[in-house]
């Protein structure tokens, strides 16, 4: 059995990792920590765990690391480095659900997050944890930067089309909408019920901190510099992301050919479903699952490809993807513990 520990387990990301790990046939959860809720039982904070998981939240992260083979960290930006180093020093594996190990360029991290890398040698070991594009590196890794939720939906939606000879414009417009859990557990003015209920609005238009992560990875896929205009929106739902991307295609490319390319790219990927032409991706049918649904559409008048990508921001966008990475790191079948079907209505 793999012994797993969660640092920052009282937040939404950490509790979602715990929910999946408790149903994982090859994992035993041996410790969870949370400063703000130290000595409380998990089930006191989250009643759904009552009589299922009554572990206490520990205050000492070192104790969690000592017990575990793999650590999941659900922490704010700028906090994960020392815990990652302690984990690696003990020849264990570390999966960071935050932003500290996603960006290659420390200047990008400083600009967008207002933090700096304190341990540059540690970042030489980080591997970006999107399995569909970094699978081989993940299998050999000990330190994973789990992708952001918006970047996951955008990258999976655009990966097949990133061949340079297919599109005419290297500037891509991305509109995304997320459920309120994407903002984290800490309450803000925008996440009050009275503000989000019966509302739908953009936020951080053109300056969201996931922008450099998306551009970094799309540029790697393409081999050419990709720039995006990214506008996120807040949906009045608990979970889910819908990302809509607009790509100018070269004039001789047909939607049927693009659809075939997507089918071929993802034919062996269990967690990416390319819907038949004419269907629309809908977040309802991916909630609580590790699936990404993609639908393709064409604005024939302007010859613009429209890609719609839907995920559950807390699963494929966070916890499910982290466990998918863990499965790869430990040589398990990639779908172990993740075969959940979404709601039918």
CA 134 to CA 126: how far, in whole Å?
Answer: 12
Q: Is 149 a catalytic residue?
A: yes
Q: Which of 149, 226, 245, 294 is catalytic?
A: 149
The β-bridge relationship of strands 70-73 and 57-58 is: unpaired
Dihedral of CA 266/267/272/275: which sign?
A: positive
For 167, phi then psi, to 5°, come to -115, 155
Rounded-to-integer distance, Cα 281 and Cα 311, Å:
10
Residue 262 has a CB neighbour count (10 Å cut-off) of 20
Q: What is the C-alpha to C-alpha distance for residues 93 and 143, in angstroms, rounded to an integer?
A: 6
Helix (H) or strand (E) holding 233: strand 227-234
Between CA 151 and CA 116 the distance in angstroms is 21
Do the Cβ atoms of 7 and 61 come closer than 8 Å? yes
Active site residues: 149
């Amino acid at each position: 059995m793999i012994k797993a520990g969660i640092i920052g387990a009282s937040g939404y990301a950490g509790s979602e990792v715990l929910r999946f790990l408790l149903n994982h046939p090859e994992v035993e959860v041996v410790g969870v920590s949370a400063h703000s809720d130290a000595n409380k039982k998990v089930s006191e904070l989250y009643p759904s765990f009552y009589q299922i998981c009554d572990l206490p939240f520990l205050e000492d992260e070192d104790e969690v690391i000592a017990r575990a083979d793999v650590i999941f960290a659900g922490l704010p930006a700028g906090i994960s480095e020392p815990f990652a180093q302690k984990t690696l020093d003990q020849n264990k594996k570390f999966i960071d659900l935050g932003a500290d190990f996603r960006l290659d360029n420390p200047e990008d991290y400083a600009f967008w997050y207002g933090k700096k890398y304190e341990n540059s040698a540690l970042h030489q070991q980080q591997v970006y944890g999107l399995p569909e594009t970094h699978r081989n590196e993940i299998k050999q890794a000990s330190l994973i930067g789990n992708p952001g939720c918006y970047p996951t939906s955008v990258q999976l939606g655009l990966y097949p089309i990133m061949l340079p000879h297919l599109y005419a414009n290297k500037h891509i417009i991305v509109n995304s909408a997320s459920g309120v859990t994407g903002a984290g557990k800490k309450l803000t003015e925008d996440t009050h019920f009275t503000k989000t209920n019966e509302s739908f609005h953009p936020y951080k238009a053109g300056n969201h901190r996931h922008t450099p992560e998306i551009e970094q990875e799309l540029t790697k896929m393409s081999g050419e510099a990709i720039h995006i205009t990214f506008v996120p929106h807040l949906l009045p739902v608990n979970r889910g992301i819908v990302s809509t991307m607009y790509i100018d295609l070269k004039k001789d490319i047909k939607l049927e050919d693009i659809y075939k390319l997507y089918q071929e790219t993802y034919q062996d990927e269990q967690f990416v479903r390319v819907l038949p032409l004419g269907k629309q991706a809908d977040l309802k049918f991916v909630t609580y699952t590790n699936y990404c649904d993609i639908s393709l559409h064409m604005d024939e008048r302007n010859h613009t490809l429209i890609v719609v990508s839907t995920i559950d921001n807390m699963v494929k966008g966070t916890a499910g993807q982290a466990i998918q990475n863990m499965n790869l790191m430990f040589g398990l079948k990639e779908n172990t513990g993740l075969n959940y079907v979404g709601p039918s209505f």
